Amino acid sequence: MKGITTRLHAALVAIVLGLGIGLAAAPATAPEALAQAPAAPPAASEQMLFNYLQGDVRGRVTIPDQRAAMLIQPAGRDFQTFWRSTMKWIGGIAVGGMLVVLVIFYLVRGTIRISAGPSGRTIQRFNGVERFAHWLTASTFIVLGITGLNITFGRELLLPILGPDAFTAWSELGKVAHNFLSFPFTLGIALMLVIWIKDNLPSRVDAQWFAQGGGLIGSAHPPARKFNAGQKLIFWSVVLGGAAIAVTGYIMMFPFQFIATDMAGMQLAIQLHGIIALVLIAIILAHIYIGSLGMEGAFAAMGSGRVDLNWAKEHHSLWVDEMMSGGRDAAAPSGARSAGAD
């Protein structure tokens, strides 16, 4: 019993001595431990966050396409502002402005009549292949223009009228039509270029046409060949503008596939596609007006392919002289015949 008491007493003394040594050593080791601890990070300020977000913010992805790692692209905010605001202003000024100009022009000038009146005789203006190329391009462009305008203005103009469900269905259908009709539109552009490029090269006659207002202003009828200067402007606007729309459109349909474009390049393609399309729509509105309501006898050129002889003499006198004299294009059905035989 005495032995057990002695061992307990020794253990208690050892515990007390150990606690004393630990307490004595604590003041010496605490500063060292604090010095080795990691410092707390400084508080992030708004300026630091702003500076950080000026560059691309990327994450990490395991898929091969590293572009998917992009989390924040500051240029995207500028692009979004352009698309939601600036693009609508461009479209409103170009398309809306052209409509206002055409209405005013019609109220002031009215329909341009055939000065000598219809002759009752017609001459072939365009053959079947030419009319096919024209209507292929025209019909597809009309659908592309309507569905494209829906992308720009549909949310503001149609959504409140149609409602969410109908607008969604219409927009989905429009997207499919916009994508697939781009191919025949591009084909039509190529056909028109091959068929008509020789007749749309600039010449000295074009300057005279512009100097006399193209017959749209005043009563003069300046001479012109198969295409006058105004029609040449329409032709090159459609060919060059249509080609630009096609290229940028295919870049959008197949992103990062055919050419080395980064995200900035894709955004530029979208902007160019929208701007050029809106300007071309405005130009085509003027073309449609002149070819229908604005000028008597003009629609027949792309309707039946034959136009009144007096109309042809007034607006394309040099071309009529060539056709009637058996010159260029004499192999085509030339001459004149009774309108009743058409």
pLDDT tens string 254-298: 887 776 677 788 888 999 999 999 999 999 999 999 999 999 999
pLDDT tens string 65-93: 666 666 666 677 788 888 888 889 999 99
Q: What local confidence, expressed as pLDDT, does residue 13 receive? A: 46
Return the closest-CA partner of residue 294 out of 155, 40, 106. 106
pLDDT tens string 164-178: 999 999 999 999 999
Q: What is the pTM of this model?
A: 0.76
- Confidence check: pLDDT of 187 > 70: yes
- Lowest-confidence segment of 31-40, 208-217, 283-292 by average pLDDT: 31-40
342 or 206, which is more confident?
A: 206
Percent of the chain residues past pLDDT 70, beyond the cut: 74
Q: What local confidence, expressed as pLDDT, does residue 336 receive? A: 44
Q: What local confidence, expressed as pLDDT, does residue 302 receive? A: 94
326: left (phi over 0), alpha (psi -120 to 50) or beta: left
Q: What local confidence, expressed as pLDDT, does residue 340 receive? A: 41
- Confidence check: pLDDT of 230 > 90: yes
Q: What local confidence, expressed as pLDDT, does residue 236 receive? A: 97
> What would the DSSP string read from start to end of 295-323?
BTT-THHHHTSEEEHHHHHHH-HHHHHHH
- Report whether 316 contacts 228 (CB < 8 A): yes
Q: What local confidence, expressed as pLDDT, does residue 58 receive? A: 63
